[in-house]
Every structure is written in structure tokens, then in C-alpha cells.
Amino acid sequence: MNATVDLSATPATTTLVSVGEICERIVRFSREDIATFARLTGDTNPLHHDVQAAQRARHGEIIASGQQTTAQLIGLIASHFSRSDDGQARELLCLNFNFSFKAPVFAEQELMLYWRVANVEWNATLGGWLFHADGRATVRNAHPCIIGRGTLLVKAGGA
């Protein structure tokens, strides 16, 4: 049995997501935030909570776990593309993320979280708009601490 695709049912465009769309947020982690997150996620690495161990290590001070910053990045893009504040209800699925750690994130640093949509295409099988976004976490817009790429699916709410 051959399945046929009804091309007339394929949307030509969407207002749910667009190439070049950006979302961003500034965050700052205190030493207490870093230690609490590490404890709650089972990360016992002393670099996240032990000042003396951190001072003896390569970076010389407490650093945030990679998962703390990536969780903030994923939360930012998930919140942005599941919003309905523009009158459009959305459903969002985060399908895949890849991150590369470039530099440590220290306590009390101002960290800019940023995502930009690279491409968008209709996916009939999944019934929604599949898109890729490039992201980063940057200290004072100088150097990236983390770079990432995400694949997400967005649909009209209730679809």
C-alpha cells in the first residue's frame, strides 16, 4: 500500500516560528545557586561547592556545572516557543540538543543566554514545524562559555 502525501495540506508559511527569530535572557548564578543546583542534580563535584577544592583546581574558584547553564538555555528556548502571549497557542517539543563547553561559568558573572532560529521546515509526519536553532551562553558578550544547537518541533496549540 503506497501512502500519498496531500501537498495542498502542507502549510506554506507559519507565524509560530521564523528564520532569524531570537530569544535571549541575562542570568547570574550566586555561589549558593551553584551549590544548590549541583546538590539537587546529584553532581557531587567539589568544584561546585567546596571553595578550597575550587581554589586548588585549574580555574581557582567555584564554577557552575555545565548542566546548570544548559538547563537555563533549554528553559529559555522552550519558554519562548511555547508562549501564547502573542495570541497564538503553541505546543513545543524539544527533540535534540548538543552543547560544547568552551569556558567555565563563575559565580556572579553576568551571562547572556541567546538562541537564533537557523532554519524552519514543515514536517508532515510530525504535523508541525521542525526548526534548528543555534545558541550560546556568553559572558559580557565577550567569549562564549557554551555553544549549542537544538532541534525543536512547534505546532499550533490544540493541533
Q: How many domains is the chain partitioned into structurally?
A: 1
**Does the structure show a pLDDT above 50 at 7?**
no
Name the amino acid, one letter, at 58: R
Whether residue 45 contacts residue 65, with contact meaning beta carbons closer than 8 Å, is answered with yes
Grouping H, G, I as helix, E, B as strand and the rest as coil, residue 21 is: coil
Stretch 86-109: mean pLDDT, rounded?
94
Residue 9 lies in a domain: no
Residue 29 lies in a domain: yes
- pLDDT tens digits, residue range 113-149? 999 999 999 999 999 999 999 999 999 768 899 999 9
Place of cell 533549554: 74
Strand pairing class (111-123; 22-27): antiparallel
**Does the structure show a pLDDT above 50 at 8?**
no
Q: What is the pLDDT of residue 142?
A: 80
Q: How confident is the model at residue 10 (pLDDT cuts 50, 70, 90)?
A: low
Q: Which domain holds residue 133?
A: 17-156
Q: What is the pLDDT of residue 141?
A: 65
Residue 11 lies in a domain: no
- Secondary structure (DSSP) of 112-128: EEEEEEEEEEEETTTTE
Q: Cα separations (Å) of 114 from 34, 39, 98?
A: 20, 26, 15
Q: What is the pLDDT of residue 158?
A: 63
Stretch 81-90: mean pLDDT, rounded?
91
Residue 4 lies in a domain: no
d(CA 146, CA 115): 12
Residue 139 lies in a domain: yes
- pLDDT tens digits, residue range 21-63? 999 999 999 999 999 999 999 999 999 998 899 889 888 899 9
Q: What is the pLDDT of residue 35?
A: 96
* CATH label of the domain that carries residue 151: 3.10.129.10
Residue 65 lies in a domain: yes
Residue 79 lies in a domain: yes
Sheet holding 143-156, edge to edge: 22-27, 111-123, 128-139, 143-156, 90-101
Residue 24 lies in a domain: yes
Q: What is the pLDDT of residue 9?
A: 54
**Does the structure show a pLDDT above 50 at 4?**
no
Using CB atoms within 10 A of its CB, is residue 114 exposed (0-12), middle (13-18) or buried (19+)? Answer: buried
